[in-house]
Structure 1
Amino acid sequence: MSNAEPATSGVVAKDTEVGSVFVSNYPPYSFWTEDALPAVEAALAEAPRPGVPLGLYVHIPFCRKRCKFCYFRVYTDK
Structure 2
Amino acid sequence: MNCARCCTPLRLLLTVDTTEWDGGSGSWRPVEEPEAWGHALAAPTQVVVGRWGELNLFACPADPAHPHAWSIQ
Normalized against structure 1, the TM-score is what? 0.19
Higher helix share: 1
Normalized against structure 2, the TM-score is what? 0.19
Q: Which of the pair has the greater relative contact order for Cα pairs under 8 Å at 6+ separation?
A: 2
Higher strand share: 2
